[in-house]
Structure 1
Amino acid sequence: MNISSRFRAKENLQLSDSDAKARPLGNGSDSKPADKLTTLALAEKISDYQNILYAQKQHKLLIILQGMDTSGKDGTVRGVFGQINPLGARTVAFKAPSSVELEHDYLWRVHKEVPGKGEITIFNRSHYEDVLITRVHDWIDQEECQRRFTQICDFERMLSETGTTILKFFLHISKDEQKQRLQERLADPDKHWKFDPQDLIEREHWARYQQAYASTISATDIDHAPWYIIPSDSKTQRNLAIAHIVTEKLESMKLAFPPGNSDYKDICVN
């Protein structure tokens, strides 16, 4: 059994049944230094694969990171994808839509950011916000939500059928862990830039967000666009799990540099 299968979302998902504190790839707290070294080695391997992917220009890889505030989306980008050559990789952070974006359908701003051939693109939040925060705050009703689930599945199927590999990660943290991380940001002036008072308002809706995430993941977990539930109270374990899954997927692509050009064999550089 490969590592990725351990984290696949289950049918009829209930996040309360998933332990955000779990350390499925570790051997207790003593394994943290070794886990960090393993993650670094995997990050370097991902970078090597990305060089081949960029040269080959056949495959496209879309990584989607979703999770509650402080769940570690930025930390995942640094820890797992920080070794990648920026030439063939992009990170896109989706904030509240602009007035121009609101004049279009909700997928308009997303579609133009998907990876091109040879690219790895990482979404820090994504189109899934349009079936999460919108439901928690009752900006859309259930009928519209179900319509969007169908549209998102169709959108991701189209991406898959046109050569994009999609991996979706839910960074699962506990409410207690979020409290601690928010408090740490408030206690350190150097981290105040990371704190948004809106985070406290959204925290008041914790239970509704957990329900919204569970139903969203269940409705949009498809083999060609799978969801992985990543226990994320441990930052080290979070990065280790995601690095393993991304590496497995890149290995399965059978990447290879393009064939050499026989016309070049007799060229002599003076």
Structure 2
Amino acid sequence: MKGPLERYFVKPGDALDLGKMDTSEKTVFESVTKDSYLPIADRLKVELRELQKVLYAQSKHRVLVVVQAMDTGGKDGCVKNVFSGIDPQGIRVQAFKKPAEEELAHDFLWRIHQHVPRNGGMVIFNRSHYEDIIAVRVKKLFPDEVWKRRQRHVLEFERMLAEEGTTIVKLFLHISKDEQKKRLESRLANPAKHWKFNPDDLSDRARWADFMKAYEEVISKTSTDLAPWYVIPADRKWYRDLVVAQIMVNTLKGLNMEYPKITWDPKSIVVGD
């Protein structure tokens, strides 16, 4: 990763300190404001839509986008705002909730593997296999050796996907604890958003420091050349969306895709009356 977005790229092996990262900065689009970002967002949406058309038509590459964040971090909004212009035939959003009984009866990657993209497809994971490391570690659902083992398995799983032709982009939408408080209070104040509020979010909030430590370690140890992590300042929703859209445009351009070449001459075709 080169250019302005490199500041959000987690280099393999580098230590990560989320507490030192400014969650409200807007360095990449410094001159842009909340009142002026829409034309840029629209341009990036068009670029992303056109690139996805080639991805689908060529049916050679597969793209997996992993989106993680703390509660209220903006996963749903980011996915909706950035990817809404894409042809539904070529994209799918898969949300992962608490594992169901059937899923718990299998290995932890069983429910994940069946949803990875096929040739020509793009799949967005709203939460992912990383929940089975982070939540297990912070909430102490299993002994430590379980999440440590899973961390190793995730590296191997993602390497397999990448070597089989899947381009993987992992996004951590990083908000501050103060911003989370504002967003939780906003949900409580708006009856139309009550359904989005889960009292369990407050118990997770009380473990904020533990979650940050867990994310720091897992992101540092699982950001690889084949499956890189980006940590994106997400207090400003509009800025978050611009950065994610730009990362996706750059990623798809990097695949050097092209429409399939035809083996016939269009000029020789006559469509009858």
**Band of TM-score, shorter chain:** over 0.9
Q: Does 1:228 align with 2:224?
A: no
Q: Runs of 5+ in structure 1 lacking a partner?
A: none
Q: Does the 8 A contact of 1:60 with 1:120 survive in 2?
A: yes
Q: In 2, Cα distance between the equivalents of 1:222 and 1:6?
A: 16
TM-score where L is the length of structure 2: 0.95
In the alignment, which of 4, 17, 23 is matched to residue 20 of structure 2?
17
User: Which residue in 1 is equivalent to 2:60?
Assistant: 58
- Between stretches 253-262 and 48-57, larger displacement belongs to 253-262
User: Which residue in 2 is equivalent to 1:111?
Assistant: 113
Q: Does the 8 A contact of 2:18 with 2:216 survive in 1?
A: yes
Q: Does 1:4 align with 2:5?
A: yes
SS of equivalent residue, structure 1 residue 33: coil
SS of equivalent residue, structure 1 residue 96: coil
Residues 210-240 of structure 1 show CA distances to partners (whole Å, capped at 9, x for unaligned) of 1110011011110110000000000011011
Amino acid at match of 2:169: L
User: Which residue in 1 is equivalent to 2:197?
Assistant: 195
User: Which residue in 2 is equivalent to 1:170?
Assistant: 172
- Between stretches 85-94 and 15-24, larger displacement belongs to 15-24
Amino acid at match of 1:106: F
Percent of pairs with identical residues: 45
SS of equivalent residue, structure 2 residue 173: strand
Amino acid at match of 1:38: I
Deviation (angstroms), 1:198 = 1.5
SS of equivalent residue, structure 2 residue 64: strand
Residues 127-172 of structure 1 show CA distances to partners (whole Å, capped at 9, x for unaligned) of 0001101111111233222211110000000000000000000000
Deviation (angstroms), 1:185 = 0.7
Q: Does the 8 A contact of 1:40 with 1:80 survive in 2?
A: no
Q: In 2, Cα distance between the equivalents of 1:246 and 1:2?
A: 14
User: Which residue in 2 is equivalent to 1:246?
Assistant: 248
Q: In 2, Cα distance between the equivalents of 1:3 and 1:85?
A: 29
TM-score where L is the length of structure 1: 0.96
Number of aligned pairs?
269
Q: Does 1:148 align with 2:144?
A: no
Q: In 2, Cα distance between the equivalents of 1:56 and 1:118?
A: 7
Residues 50-89 of structure 1 aligned to structure 2 (within 5 Å): 50-89=52-91
Deviation (angstroms), 1:9 = 1.7
Q: In 2, Cα distance between the equivalents of 1:96 and 1:263?
A: 54
Task: Give the 4+ runs in structure 1 shifted more than 6 A.
Answer: none
- Between stretches 141-150 and 183-192, larger displacement belongs to 141-150
Q: Runs of 5+ in structure 2 lacking a partner?
A: none
